[in-house]
A and B are shown apart, each in its own frame.
Chain A
Amino acid sequence: MLKLEHVDKAYADHHALNDINLDFKEHETTVLLGPSGAGKSTLLRSLNLLEEPEKGIYKIGDHTIDFSKDISNKEKLQIRQLTGMVFQSWNLFPHLTILQNITEGPIHVLKQDKIAAQKDAMHLLELVGLVETKDRFPNQLSGGQQQRISICRALAMKPEYMLFDEPTSALDPEIEAQVLRVLLKLAKEKQSMIVVTHNLEFARRVADKIVFLENGQIEFEGTKDEFFNHPTERIQAFLTGMKL
């Protein structure tokens, strides 16, 4: 269970999140849509505590955080382990091999046994079809391959929720499919996911729920049927803009 209540986040000159109330159910895929600058990344990064909103309540697992109070370092690290982040530009660790990239967290954060961590990592590499790259360094891989590895890196921590921030926006359309295939697999396995994307086709196929964000506010929250078949005027404008 992941829940936000009355969350507010402002940057120096800009109100990025405005009274956000959201529920993300387990084993569901929530797709977060909205125009550029709507606050989608800020929302996702707040769940991973890379950003800290000024106000609001955040509940995940057994944790309840009040953003208006100081969060202890220990709790911060624990919550980060519950949320696996996949960045738009993947951000693999260039000085570590592919296998080390995936086992870094399990071994040094979760203190797992090295052999067991490597075994798990090999299973993940199988899942994304990149077993043969295990001893290479990230810059020997293509963007689409690196993004699939970064998904493995996040999955290796066994997070409760996977967070994807436009995971395919930096990729060519033909490579995008390789990454989306992994997301589809995860959705089918009922991994809890929150996905920011501009790929409407993907939203149509896997979204259990769609959240539409605009100017830091939730404009819509509901099923994909409602979203695509009975859009409000603003959503209609957004959808039309996307197709152009």
Chain B
Amino acid sequence: MWETIVKSTPEIVGAGIKYSIPLALISFVIAMVIAVATALARTTEPKGSGVAKSCFKVLRWIISFYIWLFRSTPLLVQLFIVFFGLPSVGIQLDAFTAGIITFSLNTGAYCSESVRGAIISIPKSQWEAAYAIGMSYPQVLFRIIFPQAMRVAIPPLSNSFIGLVKDTSLASSITILEMFTVSQQIAAKNYEPMLMYCMVAVYYAVFCSILSIGQYYLEKYTSRYIVNGG
């Protein structure tokens, strides 16, 4: 048994480093950009002329539709539509790109809600106190609101990230040679499915545990100002 484990580890971990981790990392970064942008669009009151306001309204409607769409359909189905479905309307994507696009949009939809919740959990008086000392909108956002909202957003965002890491195993269904695909291939050759799938499960667990530890320290750091007494 040990021999099998030692022999297959480089292949499985290699697939993780080459595909699973990049898939998760790149998708999460893009998802965060989507999440913050859409959350801001949904929490900011537009000012100015009627035309600008109407455009904003349409934009918000599109965002709400996007979030609804990706949260109410299965991720596996989304992957199939992007990779196997889009070519029939002339959009041909390689598997990795299709994976990144789908994972980013899917995770972005969930994270958008987390970020929005975190932003609206910061009292309006914090915005006012920051505006009152002459800060601009970006300054208020980056110096006053985000640092406080982070504390609220980190637990749900960590959940999404860890979920994403595990969900990258679904990429096996669109021909990406990530960890789970590779373990399937090895199992087909050495007839040890139990061992192979348990092994790959352990590797996923290791990745996710590292993230959980990171979450613990991030939470500690972003809560450093919540101190008792004094």
Binding site for B on A (CB under 8 A): 48, 50, 70, 73, 77-78, 80-81, 84-85, 87, 89, 91-96, 104-105, 108-110, 136-141, 150, 153-154, 157
Q: Do the beta carbons of B135 and A109 come within 8 Å of each other?
A: yes
Alpha-carbon gap, A91 to B124, bound state (A): 10
In B34-60, which residues have CB < 8 Å from any A CB? 48
Given A87-B125, A87-B128, decide whether A139 and B133 contact each other with a Cβ distance below 8 A: no
* Chain A residue at minimal CB-CB distance from B133: A105
* Complex interface: chain B residues within 8 A of A137 (CB): 225, 227
Q: Do the beta carbons of A104 and B230 come within 8 Å of each other?
A: no
* Complex interface: chain B residues within 8 A of A70 (CB): 48
Any chain A CB within 8 A of the CB of B136?
A: yes
8 nearest A-B pairs in the assembled complex, by CB-CB distance: A140-B230, A105-B133, A91-B129, A85-B132, A81-B134, A137-B225, A80-B134, A109-B134
Query: Which listed residue (B128, B133, B134, B148) contacts A94, Cβ 8 A?
Result: B148
Alpha-carbon gap, A38 to B143, bound state (A): 34
Q: Do the beta carbons of B139 and A140 come within 8 Å of each other?
A: no
Given A87-B125, A91-B125, A109-B139, decide whether A139 and B132 contact each other with a Cβ distance below 8 A: no
Any chain A CB within 8 A of the CB of B63?
A: no
Binding site for A on B (CB under 8 A): 48, 123, 125-126, 128-136, 139, 143-144, 147-148, 225-227, 229-230
Alpha-carbon gap, A94 to B225, bound state (A): 7
Given A104-B143, A139-B225, A141-B230, decide whether A92 and B129 contact each other with a Cβ distance below 8 A: yes
Query: Which listed residue (A48, A91, A108, A136) contacts B135, Cβ 8 A?
Result: A108
List 24 contacting pairs A-B, 8 Å CB cutoff, sorted by A: A70-B48, A73-B136, A77-B134, A78-B134, A80-B133, A84-B132, A84-B133, A87-B129, A89-B125, A91-B129, A92-B129, A93-B126, A94-B226, A95-B147, A96-B225, A105-B135, A108-B139, A110-B134, A139-B226, A139-B227, A140-B229, A141-B230, A153-B133, A154-B132
